[in-house]
A and B are shown apart, each in its own frame.
Chain A
């Protein structure tokens, strides 16, 4: 994973609650490991049935076409576990989603892809939307180390992130490598469990007879 680097960007406002991962990346884009996920991002909202842009959708409006920061309503990323939702947001160019809350699986998927899920208050979301409505070209500084999203003019929006998750994002940690460092403890757990619950493993032993229907 690439280390997370602070950036400045306009903020795209998508102020609705419960934006689900089917909306973020429709299933038609999941049929290939090589699908153009940037094109598929919010496809049903961005494009009509003929593939033409829907003019008033926020990501088709000029200052937001290159936004790297998205402001969204509560419970962002609910529904399907598809990690392609996080991939599509990243490939479009987003580095941070700021919302009052995130669905659990999306939250984990985002963190594992260097996409910052920043929890901000409902009040700050409303304040951000008002700033953007007043001036769509308002730029925000997204600073993970400082745990703040700061508009050019105005007070910062604070977000809380657990310290170790923050460090992992800033370093771009490989979580599997980190877990493999616990290899001895994992092996010891497995050995003890096989002694305590042998019945859990007996039926999985390679045995042609058991594999028959």
Chain B
């Protein structure tokens, strides 16, 4: 066992991690078992090639799921050829999965969707498990109490060959969300608020547990949104202790335990929380009572402001590095220093992604869209996070709410979050998005991105400019 400086209490992260540790390796690294593995088309092709070159089998193909999500077309009637630029990688994952006996859900499959959306939605990710995926937003599954570890292609190959990972052991960190949130403030606003306060590398080499009354009161899909953006805090992963809301969310999911197995599983899951005397390498509390809906103004996620605030004036910033970064970001974003964030005109509104592409996100956006119209000149897209979400949204008529308001209703995929398919923001255009990265050129060369919640993005689509959803809804 690793030496610990405290009296023996363990954090939730340590309890799950220790249970998966097969060996301690030199240099504070552990060999850990991976319960579930999801591979996607843009980071797996060379992992399969590597296995073939070395003549290695896939150790446990039944524990891996292969999904097309990143490069897929989101056209309503798409197939594997709709976006010719995606054909090579889509065919590669299909043939690799077939050759290796791995389940494969391509664009045609009813369970297809963004890897981080389908994990919890289908019960592939379960409390107390370790799930690996070749994508940095794998921490999303922390929202149901799993450790989601985002990895590169070499580590994807490592999981395929061994069903394990060799990882530096992250240090436990806790972020407690205290207070009572105001109306109009969602999980997305809370995590943006936290990143704004803590910075984009606050969690580096740490596993963050999100705690406190505000987290406890969040619905499960909101918890998934919080954990999704752990990488935007620089953390290796993020996790939230499961509770009755989690168990209710998972009950009956296709790959969740059923019958007597379900009762045994829930009994085990009830032990998944941090001990009262657990020690954290870093322990921070945020008072969320004053938080308003958030919008990013810059090119990193900590460059964020409340909707009733102003973008900064770099001349007034004391820290020279922050001043330089702010000035560069405002220049790239083409926003004058010190102006109010509200009222900045937009060209595109994007609702979707692993951050905010779940049914509750679409409901929140539809509540704003209902009976209103997308502003002239604005392109507004709704891209469900999975084909299951799309089906469920259509069953309750959300697709019609959106299309009647002038939004495009598209097929499931990563779409304009990673913009590796045909969903690209044109050079110089300004997009408000429910996704997770506002980096320079992220949504296409010269694209400008503002991050916000689904309701705020819908409000901007209606207004034609960044808007306060609380005013739009009156």
Contact A186 B440 (CB under 8 A): no
Q: Which of B31, B258, B445 contacts A49 (CB 8 A)?
A: B445
Known: A22-B442, A180-B161, A199-B264. A78 touches B200 (CB 8 A): yes
Q: Which of A16, A105, A193, A206 contacts B151 (CB 8 A)?
A: A105
Q: Does A195 contact B (CB under 8 A)?
A: no
Segment of A5-13, A54-62, A131-139, A159-167 engaged in the interface with chain B? A159-167
Q: Does A108 contact B (CB under 8 A)?
A: yes
Q: Does A202 contact B (CB under 8 A)?
A: yes
Closest-CB distance, A63 to chain B (whole angstroms): 25
Contact A109 B154 (CB under 8 A): yes
Contact B201 A78 (CB under 8 A): yes
Contact B255 A203 (CB under 8 A): yes
Interface size on B, residues (CB 8 A): 83
Contact A165 B27 (CB under 8 A): yes
**A:6-65 near B, CB below 8 Å:** 16-18, 20, 22-23, 26-28, 30-33, 44, 49
Q: Does A158 contact B (CB under 8 A)?
A: no
Contact B135 A33 (CB under 8 A): no
Residues of B with C-beta under 8 A to A112: 152, 154-155
Q: Which of B27, B152, B262 contacts A162 (CB 8 A)?
A: B27
**A:128-164 near B, CB below 8 Å:** 162-164
Closest to B65 in A: A204
Residues of A with C-beta under 8 A to B211: none
Q: Does B256 contact A (CB under 8 A)?
A: yes
Residues 33-70 of B, flagged 1 when their CB comes within 8 A of A and 0 if not, give 10100000011011001000010100010110000000
Closest-CB distance, B183 to chain A (whole angstroms): 32
Contact B92 A33 (CB under 8 A): yes
Known: A164-B25, A189-B33. A204 touches B255 (CB 8 A): yes
Contact A179 B46 (CB under 8 A): no
Q: Does A86 contact B (CB under 8 A)?
A: yes
Residues of B with C-beta under 8 A to A210: 254-255
Residues of A with C-beta under 8 A to B280: none
Closest-CB distance, A91 to chain B (whole angstroms): 13
Q: Does B358 contact A (CB under 8 A)?
A: no
Contact A81 B151 (CB under 8 A): yes
Q: Does B274 contact A (CB under 8 A)?
A: no
Residues of B with C-beta under 8 A to A104: 168, 170, 204-205, 234-236
Q: How far is the CA of A198 from the CA of B152 in the complex (A)?
A: 30
Contact A20 B152 (CB under 8 A): no
Contact B110 A213 (CB under 8 A): yes
Contact B71 A105 (CB under 8 A): no
Residues of A with C-beta under 8 A to B254: 203, 210, 213
Residues of B with C-beta under 8 A to A82: 42-43, 152
A-B pair count, CB < 8 Å, reads 189
Q: Does A89 contact B (CB under 8 A)?
A: no
Contact A185 B23 (CB under 8 A): yes
Known: A17-B325, A30-B42, A190-B163. A206 touches B152 (CB 8 A): no
Known: A75-B234, A113-B154, A162-B28. A199 touches B262 (CB 8 A): yes
Q: Does A2 contact B (CB under 8 A)?
A: no
Known: A17-B321, A44-B445. A176 touches B56 (CB 8 A): yes
Residues of A with C-beta under 8 A to B62: 204-206
Interface, chain B (partner A; CB < 8 A): 22-23, 25-29, 31, 33, 35, 42-43, 45-46, 49, 54, 56, 60, 62-63, 71, 85-86, 88-89, 92, 103, 110-111, 123, 126, 129, 134-136, 150-155, 157-158, 161-164, 166-168, 170, 200-201, 204-205, 231, 234-236, 254-258, 261-262, 264-265, 268, 300, 321, 325, 418-420, 427, 437, 439-442, 445-446
Interface, chain A (partner B; CB < 8 A): 16-18, 20, 22-23, 26-28, 30-33, 44, 49, 74-75, 78-83, 86, 101, 103-105, 108-109, 112-113, 162-165, 175-176, 178-180, 182, 185-186, 189-190, 193, 197-200, 202-206, 210-211, 213
In the complex, 7 of the A-B residue pairs with CB atoms within 8 angstroms, ordered by the A residue number, are A176-B161, A176-B162, A179-B158, A182-B31, A186-B162, A197-B268, A199-B264
